[in-house]
Chain A
Amino acid sequence: MGTLKKSKTIKPGLLLGLILLLAPLSIQAQRFGGGGMRGGGGVHRGGSAMSRPAPSHSAPSRSNYSKPSRASHKTINGGSHKTPSRTKPAIKTSPKVDRSGTKNRATNRPLTSDIKNNASGNKNVRNKAKNNNVGNRVDVSKNRNNVNINVDNSRHTNIHNTRNTRVVAPSRAYIRPPYYYGGRGYYSFHPYYYHPYRPFYWGPVWHPWGFFIATIATTAIIVSIENQQYYYDQGVYYIQSDGGYTVVEAPVGATVSALPKEAQTVKVNETTNNYYYGGSYYEKDGNKYKVVPPTAGTIVPNLPEGGEEVKIGEQTYVQFGETYYQPVQVDGKDMYEIVEVKEE
């Protein structure tokens, strides 16, 4: 008897349960009439998830089922939003982000919470179209006995031989897919293997780009390229400026009769070697040495001062003007490979 009574009292509950279970799905089934038919479009948030169109939605009506989110402004995403009617596809555009305000922070602050807006805070966000101005930053590695060279950045020179840092494509084919970032492919023959950039010290007579001296050594010789007169002394090129001499990049095409004894031979490919000194590349031209631009794939053991580590996607390169050096490891030794950058 008791069981029978119980059964009778359960029936309305059963009915209610079934209704509650089925109702939302039934209501939903009427909303779009089997919709979901929208344009294709990529599903890509950098390879990890779906991309997001601009969160702009407009539709005239909303079904009864939809309820506004009760989320407050303190929620992690401001509360969910739903297009009142999903009968029309949302406009698929990339998020238009106003990046004019994207500036970097001031440096040398311990906590990100302590960072104040600083007019110079933009310096660590690189301009993609950047050219050869990197040379003005000099920061000698701390492990080099704290040798500090103060470059007077107020002495601007207008000599920028961009050909010096513009990388020449190699004659051999790449066997590795490039590293892609920002619509560009970064091609190399060796895999990325990070090691910190520690500028090599080529001795007291070598100076980085932008370095200023009041007088030049009597051993300097004059080299003229494209109506520009350079002074060459022990692997360093100067131009006359502001009553003195400023170090500049080695001008492509310049020919000198001798290189410093510290110059090394670096392998460009199976049949070609370059001579390398202080970040400049030479090839033998009869009895002389001619300045040549860097060739992609060339492996160098050291980099001079004046380069800058730049985070490109997830990888860190060292940039000199238009030349990017990828940290690599060859035969167990930390080296750098000149990278070819291609618009893809």
Chain B
Amino acid sequence: MKRLLLIVTVVAPVFMEAQAVQKDSSSALYLFDRMASVIGELESCSYTLHRSEDVLVNAYGPEKHFATDKVQLVGPNKMSVQTHGDRGHIGFWYNGKYLARYNYNENNYTIVEAPNNIIDMIDTIHHDYGVDFPAADFLNPTFTDDLVAQFDNIVLLGKRKIEGQDCFYIMATNKNVNIQFWINDGAITLPKKFLITYKNKDNRQFEATFSDWILNPVIPNTVFDFLPPPSSREVAILPQS
């Protein structure tokens, strides 16, 4: 048994290196498919996302902004997000019918009708109101297909250790964007980290790291209902188009 482990341990990295040299996209796609399958079978989950983003808000260059999102999902139509960032605290509550967004700092909120499943809700709210949900693309059922459609190269570069976890290291590139993925190398294949570099936007970056994955937790439905705090104000919302 020890020998088996030894050989696997020795062979695997070598093999991975070989794959990297060959720029093997199929290995990367396999990992993405596996990850998508794991996510696709979850009936509920929660995770934390630590992210940073370069945003152009002044004439001197991009600013780096930071936020931490605590996400809870229950299929097929419940989601809550608590975002604490350097620009404030925002909460989202989606109960299958309505999406409420409450800005804790401004003490105001908006509520809009939303489709009856998480994926359509994310798409619709993003399209209509420009709302970005943290790492929502990983929830996309066609995640791998979309990558294939949009990137010229998707390459498994080997294995890396992120926050003590062994991860597969994958890079996807096209002329505008470079994305680096770190996918957990374990029994349950889940995303650990990704870094987007916008080559066409002065190499601005978006980086996010997952932690605290809990699979299929029991989360009460009331968690996803928004209760306007006393003295809070409902404000109108302007659609993007």
Report A's interface with B, CB cutoff 8 A.
7, 10, 13-14, 17-18, 21-22, 24-25, 28-32, 34-43, 45-53, 55, 57, 66, 69-83, 86, 89-92, 94-95, 97, 99, 101-105, 107, 110-113, 115, 121, 123-126, 128, 175-177, 181-183, 194, 196, 308-314, 316, 319
Pick from B8, B45, B206, B227: contact of A76, CB under 8 Å:
B45
Is the Cβ of A48 less than 8 Å from the Cβ of B134?
Answer: yes
9 A–B contact pairs at CB < 8 A? A41-B150, A48-B53, A77-B75, A81-B145, A102-B112, A104-B111, A112-B95, A126-B239, A316-B103
B residues less than 8 Å from A316 (CB atoms):
103, 106, 108, 235
Taken together as a complex, chains A and B put the C-alpha atoms of A144 and B135 apart, in Å, by 44
- Contact residues of B: prevailing secondary structure: mixed
B residues less than 8 Å from A101 (CB atoms):
113
B residues less than 8 Å from A21 (CB atoms):
8, 11-12, 15
Q: How far is the CB of A65 from chain B (nearest CB, A)?
A: 8
A34, A50, A53, A125 — most chain B CB neighbours (10 Å): A50
Is the Cβ of B225 less than 8 Å from the Cβ of A113?
Answer: yes
B residues less than 8 Å from A94 (CB atoms):
127
B107 beta carbon closer than 8 Å to chain A: yes
Given A41-B150, A124-B110, A124-B234, residue A83 in contact with residue B15 (CB < 8 A): no
Q: What string of 1s and 0s marks CB contacts (under 8 Å) between B215-237 and chain A?
A: 00000011001111000011111
A residues less than 8 Å from B203 (CB atoms):
none
A residues less than 8 Å from B161 (CB atoms):
none
Is the Cβ of A49 less than 8 Å from the Cβ of B228?
Answer: no
A residues less than 8 Å from B129 (CB atoms):
313
Kindly state the interface size class of chain B when it binds its partner: 35 or more
Is the Cβ of A52 less than 8 Å from the Cβ of B140?
Answer: yes
Is the Cβ of A76 less than 8 Å from the Cβ of B139?
Answer: yes
A residues less than 8 Å from B194 (CB atoms):
49
Is the Cβ of B127 less than 8 Å from the Cβ of A42?
Answer: no
Is the Cβ of A126 less than 8 Å from the Cβ of B130?
Answer: no
A residues less than 8 Å from B22 (CB atoms):
34
Q: What string of 1s and 0s marks CB contacts (under 8 Å) between B40-51 and chain A?
A: 111111000001
Is the Cβ of A82 less than 8 Å from the Cβ of B36?
Answer: yes
B144 beta carbon closer than 8 Å to chain A: yes
Q: How far is the CB of B37 from chain A (nearest CB, A)?
A: 5
Is the Cβ of B75 less than 8 Å from the Cβ of A311?
Answer: no
Is the Cβ of B146 less than 8 Å from the Cβ of A53?
Answer: yes
B residues less than 8 Å from A28 (CB atoms):
24, 26-27, 29-30
